[in-house]
């Protein structure tokens, strides 16, 4: 992933040297928003399902190095891809308590969220909302953003996990908050999201060091929002 980010930086500088600028930033073309995005998530799902220890993978954190790199959308895309596989039961937990954004992506019904559980006003089971007619259920952060108790979140997830095949946890940025350092060792693995045109290599390296230091298992890295100057061989999961 470091090589991918460094190549993106070099290609961006080449574009600038050639005078290819748009509003002070190197011009770039995003891939067309067709079925390619769904294909990326299907490949991401396949990368997880065909790991040697696949049968031991049930709880997965999706995090980024910092805000704005698209971790929540990746978590949603992965959860939907997993839920589309037969009778696979998937739970998506919005554990980013400081800046929750899931309600802007999914049509969610009103009801208690994780913050209500942390306040002692709801049970873990009462937090689960079914999303339409798919095998995807959701636990939102709730109406009290900023309420954080990582150990209590671990307890809630542990109580809910036996009811699902996979639990995908949308977590806050690893470089900014300590949440993932607490949650990471308690789950089966972590997927790190970086943004192709924005994430400095130093941030990606720091995130990996943090995850390694706490003993979290890193499944892989998603190179998000790939631009045209990123080598075509660098795909979603590295």
Report whether 65 contacts 175 (CB < 8 A).
Answer: yes
**Long-range Cβ pairs for the range 15-20 (8 Å, 24+):** 15/229
Please give the Cα distance from 221 to 238 (Å, whole number): 6
Question: What does DSSP assign to residue 31?
Answer: P
At 11 the pLDDT is 61
Which tokens sit at 46? Answer: 């396949």
pLDDT computed for residue 25 by the predictor? 33
> How far is the C-alpha of 167 from the C-alpha of 188, rounded, in Å?
10
The stretches in the chain having pLDDT less than 50 are 15-34, 228-238
Q: With 0-12 CB in 10 A as exposed, 13-18 as middle and 19+ as buried, what is 201?
A: middle
Nearest to 183 by CA among 160, 217, 222, 208: 217
Is the distance from CB of 208 to CB of 181 less than 8 angstroms? Answer: no
**Residue whose C-alpha is closest to residue 44's, from 4, 69, 86, 75:** 75
Q: pTM for the complete prediction? A: 0.81
pLDDT for position 198: 83
């Amino acid at each position: 992933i470091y090589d991918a980010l460094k190549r993106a930086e070099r290609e961006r500088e080449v574009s600038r040297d050639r005078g290819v600028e748009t509003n002070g930033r190197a011009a770039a073309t995003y891939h067309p928003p067709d079925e390619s995005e769904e294909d990326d998530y299907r490949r991401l799902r396949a990368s997880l399902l065909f790991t040697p220890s696949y049968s031991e993978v049930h709880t997965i954190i999706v995090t980024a190095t910092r805000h704005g790199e698209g971790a929540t959308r990746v978590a949603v895309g992965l959860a939907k891809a997993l839920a589309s596989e037969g009778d696979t039961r998937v739970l998506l937990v919005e554990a980013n308590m400081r800046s929750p954004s899931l309600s802007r992506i999914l049509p969610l019904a009103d009801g208690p969220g994780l913050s209500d559980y942390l306040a002692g006003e709801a049970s873990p089971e009462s937090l689960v909302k079914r999303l339409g007619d798919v095998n995807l259920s959701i636990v939102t952060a709730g109406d009290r953003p900023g309420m954080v108790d990582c150990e209590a979140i671990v307890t809630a997830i542990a109580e809910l996990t036996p009811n699902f095949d996979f639990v995908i946890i949308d977590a806050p940025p690893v470089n900014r908050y300590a949440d993932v350092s607490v949650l990471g060792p308690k789950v089966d693995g972590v997927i790190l999201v970086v943004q192709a045109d924005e994430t400095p290599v130093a941030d990606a390296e720091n995130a990996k060091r943090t995850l390694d230091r706490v003993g979290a298992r890193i499944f892989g890295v998603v190179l998000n929002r790939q631009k045209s100057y990123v080598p075509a061989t660098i795909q979603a999961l590295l």
